[in-house]
Amino acid sequence: MAKLCPAVILAAGASQRLGQPKSLVPIGETTLVGLAFRKLIEAGCSPVLIVTRSELSVAVMQAAVGSTVLVNTSPEQGRTGSIQCGLLSLAGDKGRMPKRVVIAPVDRPGWKVSDVTSLLVSQRSSTLASNGRRGHPLLLDEHAINSVLAASPERPLRDLVTFEEVVVNAPLLGLNIDTPEDLDLLKQHESSLLEIG
């Protein structure tokens, strides 16, 4: 049986342009963070950790019941710092660093469970791609994990890791919930995004 791959949901952004926490944006009967958690569990990821800001930790726990929620104490340093927070927690749980980890930003909901299962087939650092456009979640291999841990938290992931593409049919892969206008797109595509499969 294949070893379960852990996942880290990134939910520590300030959401200044959106004007509300991205992780808690409602979609159907859940939230963006609840949906991402459910889809990663369904894809066979375990454990699934959520990295968020201190002031959102309780609300995120309530939105993703059963998840492990971690607080990034310096979220303003960027997403790499949040990834480091998740990786260090995974290492602490097991006493050793995982060989592979899925990274899923909470504001990129345009993927399905089947896309993650396609990603998990890869043994190297990979990113989803659809219609010539790259998207999330990502898979970090052991070499990439070590590079991320050794980097400054402000350093963008694209400067640290070279990703292979895993091509999927995901028309909404480029969806990025960043501004109030993006909430209209989210509503427009809600039924497709809620399809777990």
Phi/psi at 164 (5° precision): -80, 155
Q: Is residue 197 part of a domain?
A: no
In the DSSP assignment, the letter for residue 177 is -
Per-residue pLDDT, averaged over 55-84, amounts to 93
> How much is the pLDDT for 126?
97
Per-residue pLDDT, averaged over 169-196, amounts to 91
**Residue 4: is its pLDDT beyond 90?**
no
Q: Is residue 185 part of a domain?
A: no
CB atoms within 10 A of CB 124: 15
Phi/psi at 16 (5° precision): -65, -45
Split at pLDDT 50, 70, 90, the class of 93 is low
Predicted TM-score of the model (pTM): 0.94
> How much is the pLDDT for 2?
52
* C-alpha dist (Å) from residue 183 to 28, 32, 54, 132, 188: 13, 11, 24, 24, 9
> How much is the pLDDT for 18?
86
> What is the residue range of 138's domain?
5-180
Beta bridge mates, 9:
50, 104
Task: Specify the residue for token string 């499969």.
Answer: 197
- What is the number of structural domains in the chain? 1
Split at pLDDT 50, 70, 90, the class of 3 is low
Q: Which residue in 100, 99, 111, 69 sits closest to 86, CA to CA?
A: 69
Give the helix ranges, DSSP H, for 56-196. Answer: 57-63, 79-94, 113-121, 142-150, 180-188, 190-194
Q: Is residue 23 part of a domain?
A: yes
**Residue 97: is its pLDDT beyond 90?**
no
Per-residue pLDDT, averaged over 43-52, amounts to 95
* C-alpha dist (Å) from residue 85 to 9, 23, 104, 148: 11, 17, 14, 11
Q: Is residue 186 part of a domain?
A: no
Q: Is residue 67 part of a domain?
A: yes
- CATH number assigned to the domain comprising residue 137: 3.90.550.10
User: How far is residue 176's CA from residue 14's CA, in Å, rounded to a whole number?
Assistant: 15
13 three-class SS: coil
Q: Which of 19-28, 52-61, 93-102 has the lowest mean pLDDT?
A: 93-102
**Residue 1: is its pLDDT beyond 50?**
no
> For residue 158, what are its two tokens?
């694209």
Q: Is residue 187 part of a domain?
A: no
Vertex 158 angle, CA 110 and 150, to 5°: 120
70 three-class SS: strand
Q: Is residue 88 part of a domain?
A: yes
Q: Which residue has the higher pLDDT, 54 or 97?
A: 54
Q: Is residue 193 part of a domain?
A: no
